[in-house]
Amino acid sequence: MAQITEEQLPREIHRTNQNRVGKVSAYVDEKATFDHVVKALEGKLANVPVPAGYRIEMAGQELQRKESMGGLTFALILSIVLVYMVMASQFESLVHPFTILLTIPLAMVGALVTFYILGRPLNVMAYIGMIMLAGIAVNDSIILVDKINQLRRSGMAKRDAIIQGGLQRVRPIIMTSLTTILALLPLTFGFGESADLRSPMAWAVVGGLVTSTMLSLVVIPCVYEVMTKKSH
C-alpha cells in the first residue's frame, strides 16, 4: 500500500518575490561595530561556492541601513542644491554661492575626524547630523562674504575688503559657532533615554562646526580672492 521513509524537510518555506529563500539569522555582539561585522561577513561569504541559480544576499538590519543611507544621500544633495539656490538669489551671483558652499566639505572633514578619534561608527543619526551641517556650517561663510561685498560696494579695494571683512567678522563668526556648539554639547554626553541615538548626531554637528569655523576664516577669503580675480 505505501512505503515509509524518513527525510529531513524545512519546517517552513519562505519566499521573496516568488523566489524560494533560506534564512540564516544571528545576533550581533553589542560591543562589535555593526558595519565592521557586515564587511567581515561579506568577505567570508565571497569565498563560499554558490551553485548555479543561487545567490547570497544580506537582509534584515543591513538592508534597512542601505535603504536609509540611499535616502539620506539624496536628502544631502537636495539640501545643498536648495542652499545654493537661496544664496544665488540673495547674492545675485553664481560665483559667491560656490565660495560659501566650500564650507560644507570643511565641516564634513571635522565630523569624520571626530568619529575617527572617538572610535565610533557612522550610523544613520550621524548622517542626519551631517545633513544638518549643510545648513548650519554655511552661516559663517555667509556672514563673511556678505561683509566683504558690502565693503567692496562702498568703494574699498578687493584685497583690503577681504582683510577688513575678516577682521570685523571674526567675533560674530566665533560667537555664532560657540553658541551652537555649547547648546549641542550636553547631547554628546548621553543623558537620559535614547542617548545613543542623539549622541552621534550631536558629535557630527559639533565636530563639523569646529573645523568649519577655524578653516572658513582662512580658506574662504583665499577662495574669494581666486574666484573674483578678474574684478578689483
Q: Say yes or no to pLDDT of 63 above 70.
A: no
- If 0-12 CB within 10 Å is exposed, 13-18 middle and 19+ buried, where does residue 149 land? middle
Confidence at 192, pLDDT banded by 50, 70, 90: low
More confident residue, 123 or 35: 123
Tell me, yes or no, whether 63 lies in a domain: no
Tell me, yes or no, whether 160 lies in a domain: yes
Confidence at 195, pLDDT banded by 50, 70, 90: low
DSSP reduced 3-state for 19: strand
In the numeric block, the cell 538590519 is attached to 61
Q: What is the pLDDT of residue 33?
A: 67
Tell me, yes or no, whether 181 lies in a domain: yes
Tell me, yes or no, whether 13 lies in a domain: no
**Any idea of the CA torsion for 69, 64, 194, 181, to the nearest 10 degrees?**
0
Say which CATH number the domain at 207 has. Answer: 1.20.1640.10
Domain carrying residue 102: 68-227
Q: What is the pLDDT of residue 74?
A: 84
- pTM score, two decimals? 0.70
Tell me, yes or no, whether 110 lies in a domain: yes
Alpha helices in the chain, H assignment, sequence order: 34-45, 61-91, 96-101, 103-118, 124-136, 138-153, 158-189, 195-227
Indicate the number of domains in the chain: 1
Widest CA span in the chain: 107
Tell me, yes or no, whether 3 lies in a domain: no
Q: What is the pLDDT of residue 230?
A: 62
Distance CA 154, CA 58 (A): 62
More confident residue, 230 or 105: 105
Tell me, yes or no, whether 131 lies in a domain: yes
Tell me, yes or no, whether 29 lies in a domain: no
